[in-house]
Amino acid sequence: MSTEVHRRRRRAPRGRSAAPHWLGRLPYLFVLSGVAGGLALCALDHFRKGSGLMAAALLLGALARLLLPESQLGLLAVRSRPVDCWTLVILGEGIAFVALSVPPTDRTGLLLSGAFGVLIGLVIVVRGVTLLVTRRRGGPPR
């Protein structure tokens, strides 16, 4: 004789101020459509514009993950908040760096890509120094 126990899922109460369920999918949809549009532009021989669009979409996704609550993020909230944010930022900056390091035809683009590369290098150095300092003090790494 077996007894089956059915567990009911608890749902949050939906009042008048609760956001509609489709609103939680909007940030993920924006990121996904930005990356898809960037890939389409790259396929149509506009590499720098497409890569810039993909990088912007990923960086906006990181900003959304940082600022919005988990109930409004949909599939952007997969891991913990710091891991998701850093993953999106590193991917977005990497794609932007590749897009800007393609040899441009004018001098302004070359200066812009060099400045962006220096900025990424500084962010990596500051993050590394921060991790070393917090570990030497015995504090938990963030």
Which has more confidence, 126 or 6? 126
The count of structural domains within the chain is 1
Note the pTM of the prediction, 2 decimals.
Answer: 0.61
pLDDT band for position 3 (50/70/90)? Answer: low
| Mean pLDDT of the 77-90 span | 88
pLDDT greater at residue 11 or residue 38: 38
pLDDT for 19-57, tens place per residue?
Answer: 566 666 788 889 999 999 999 988 888 888 889 999 999
Instruction: Establish if 142 belongs to a structural domain.
Output: no
* Residue 28 domain-assigned (yes or no): yes
Domain coverage including residue 88:
22-136
**Is position 14 within any domain?**
no
Yes or no: say if 93 and 64 are a contact pair by the CB < 8 Å rule. Answer: no
Largest CA distance in the chain: 80
- Are 96 and 52 within 8 A, CB to CB? yes
| Residue 26, in any domain of the structure | yes
Question: Which distant-in-sequence residues (6+ apart) come within 8 Å of 53 by Cβ?
Answer: 34, 37, 38, 41
Residue 60 lies in a domain: yes
Query: Is position 35 within any domain?
Result: yes
By the 10 Å C-beta count (0-12 exposed, 13-18 middle, 19+ buried), 100 is classed as buried
